[in-house]
Structure 1
């Protein structure tokens, strides 16, 4: 009879087996998707206090890609950074607020600027009002960031770059003039009211009628908007720009167009074009070649350094175009027949 050998197997209790499975599950290996070496996946809930301190990241860049930060530590970290950002924001200087209307007494301590005008100038430049630095120094466009004097030089109006302190030499040496729409100074143009600018338009037109420049250039689109609003009330189209009255009327001229239901679409206004504007002032003078019979209007962007819509090269191009037009007007080679005629006495009376 064959001998039967038996091997004794140590008994394993259910409690020890459960403990063993929990220990092994913490070191479970999961293969990575790209086939590289397996990555250990350990639940952060089962880490001891020592482990949490060991793997606590110092910054966002130090966070391990395979380990998620406990929610409690994220909350503490977020609150820390939020408090830090709040303290840094509080230490910064407050944001500069936009200016609004300022009454004349705010800048009553500043001086007014003198106009530099003469009769029969080629171009007279008109700004909106003297800036703070111009009023302090007593010279037009005195702020170093202003492009006016650079534009004059680079466009050929002046052979050299003039300093603002030489503004008084423009009428006699270069046949150019300087004036402003509003006389009182301010730090920014927005500190003038719209009513104040509108009331100043007749005085500017009176200067045009008195000194008769060939070209009157507004340095800034906003100034022209104020002036044109007044010019439209006292301007008439010449007969050459109107339709020929002898031509038969169009068959559809007397046919009423039926109204469509619904809200009508508004036609957007035409885009503003810098340069010569469709208005002129006709002066009552003798037909002499030495007299200026008409004054044309020209608009260039503001030469302030704060204007970002037009950079210095763009402004120089428009100043160059102004010089070319003024030379054509001086030779009598510029056609003005289709321009509206402004009745200056009606506006200045």
Structure 2
């Protein structure tokens, strides 16, 4: 999946890795049941509910998308800790080249593993990544039953208010 980035982004959302369906259709968070697009709209980041194939319309809104790990898998459980660490290093290079105001990780476990922060919690982090603020959110995957859509909307709204504040 190619990164969706541009200079001067407000938020760079970082997913864990592309799933099989997402890779097959070639659009981020493409699987039906993934809650990224409804949560993004519900939190006020987009003026309407976008479909995955409209992802490029995020760039004029100052929003980009990348993945921690580029390898496609059926589930993130197939990824190794070494892949997360390597993905974190790739992400650092991407952020250094085009720093957004904030990098928002969509997957707390991926963030903890990639950056060696086993006790990280959701929300704004104390550290920065190549000058960009870091924010950790739950994965919007339909496989993540720990957080429902209303939870994701609330957490994303807090991020949007911080970015816009």
TM-score between both structures, scaled by the size of structure 2: 0.94
Post-superposition shift, 1:281? 3.9
1:69-107 CA-to-partner distances (Å, cap 9, x unmatched) read xxxxxxxxxxxxxxxxxxxxxxxxxxxxxxxxxxxxxxx
Q: Which residue of 2 aligns with 1:141?
A: 29
Query: What is the CA RMSD across the aligned residues, in angstroms?
Result: 1.5
Q: Confirm whether residue 118 of structure 1 aligns to residue 6 of structure 2.
A: yes
CA distance in 1, matches of 2:98, 2:137: 21
Among 271, 294, 302, the alignment partner of 2:139 is 302
- 1:316 is matched with 153
> In the alignment, which residue of structure 1 is the partner of 2:98?
211
- In the other structure, the counterpart of 1:167 is 55
The gaps in structure 2 that reach 5 residues or longer are: none
* 1:146-192 deviation per Cα after TM superposition (whole angstroms, max 9, x unaligned): 00000110000001000000112211x21100000111211111111
Return the structure number with greater strand share: 2
CA apart distance, 1:307 = 1.2
Task: Tell me the CA shift for residue 299 of structure 1.
Answer: 0.6
| 1:226 matched residue in structure 2 | 113
Gapped regions of structure 1 (runs ≥ 5): 1-112, 233-268, 283-293, 329-349
Give the Cα–Cα distance (whole angstroms) in 2 for the partners of residues 167 and 208 of structure 1: 19
Divergent runs of 4+, >2 A: none
SS of residue paired to 2:65? strand
Question: Take 1:304 and 1:126, find their aligned partners in 2: how far apart are those partners?
Answer: 13
Question: What is the CA–CA distance in structure 1 between the aligned matches of 2:121 and 2:26, rounded to whole Å?
Answer: 33
**Residue 130 (structure 1) aligned with residue 13 (structure 2):** no
Structure with greater contact order relative to length (CA < 8 Å, sep ≥ 6): 2
For 1:213 and 1:278, how far apart are their aligned partners in 2? Answer: 17
Distance in 2 (CA, whole Å) between partners of 1:221 and 1:196 is: 15
- Structure 1 counterpart of 2:128: 280
Q: Deviations over 1:288-324 (max 9, x none)?
A: xxxxxx4100011010112121111011000000001
Q: 2:86 aligns with which of 190, 199, 209?
A: 199
Query: What is the CA-CA distance between 1:223 and the residue it aligns to?
Result: 1.6
Distance 2:137 2:6 in 1: 22
| Deviation by residue 1:90-127 (Cα, 9 ceiling, x = unmatched) | xxxxxxxxxxxxxxxxxxxxxxx111101110000001
Q: Which residue of 1 aligns with 2:46?
A: 158
* Rounded Cα–Cα distance in structure 2 between residues aligned with 1:212 and 1:133: 29
